[in-house]
């Protein structure tokens, strides 16, 4: 099982798309193990996006991410990072495929609705920033119908 951070960004919150976007992750078979509605502080945004600090778009990115609340999610599932990134679509919404979140609901590169961790290392770092209190472990009955146990045993 893999965990990833997903942020439903200020544009998703302001447009009332949180439920729609969240349902796509759940319908795919990913499990919510942490969730909070929060306002990102400039300090947290700076830590989260520190890799982009020298880039020209950094000040605007921090301003955008702190302008309105977000929904922070920790999702869990097999290949969760890859699955989430596929569901989200290309970073530039205008180039995202139909059927993806950005392809269906976005039109901008900057206002692209969702953030998702891009690697297990990034997920670990980002989850610790947004959920320092930890994550809830629980058994989902639906997983018995989403994941083929025989297929999972073959991977072991």
pLDDT in tens, 71-104: 999 999 999 999 999 999 999 999 999 999 999 9
Fold category of 2-155 in CATH:
Alpha-Beta Plaits (3.30.70)
Provide the residue ranges of all domains of the chain, joining segments of one domain with +.
2-155
Q: Is 48 a catalytic residue?
A: no
**What is the three-class DSSP state of 79?**
coil
Tell me whether residue 37 is exposed, middle or buried, using C-beta atoms within 10 angstroms of its C-beta: 0 to 12, 13 to 18, 19 or more.
Answer: exposed
pLDDT at 99: 97
Query: 147 pLDDT band (50/70/90 cuts)?
Result: confident
pLDDT at 67: 97
pLDDT at 110: 86
Question: Exactly one of 4, 115, 127, 131 is catalytic; which is it?
Answer: 115
């Amino acid at each position: 099982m893999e965990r990833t951070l997903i942020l439903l960004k200020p544009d998703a919150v302001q447009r009332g798309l949180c439920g729609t976007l969240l349902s796509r992750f759940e319908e795919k078979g990913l499990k919510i193990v942490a969730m909070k509605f929060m306002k990102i502080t400039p300090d947290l945004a700076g830590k989260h996006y520190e890799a982009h600090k020298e880039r020209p778009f950094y000040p605007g990115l921090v301003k955008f991410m702190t302008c309105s609340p977000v929904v922070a999610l920790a999702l869990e599932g097999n290949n969760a990072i890859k699955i989430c990134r596929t569901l989200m679509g290309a970073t530039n919404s205008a180039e995202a495929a139909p059927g993806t979140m950005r392809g269906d609901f976005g039109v901008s590169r900057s206002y692209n609705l969702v953030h998702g961790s891009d690697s297990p290392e990034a997920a670990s770092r980002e989850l610790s920033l947004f959920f320092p209190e930890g994550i809830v472990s629980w058994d989902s009955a639906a997983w018995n119908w989403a994941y083929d146990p025989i297929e999972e045993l073959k991977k072991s």
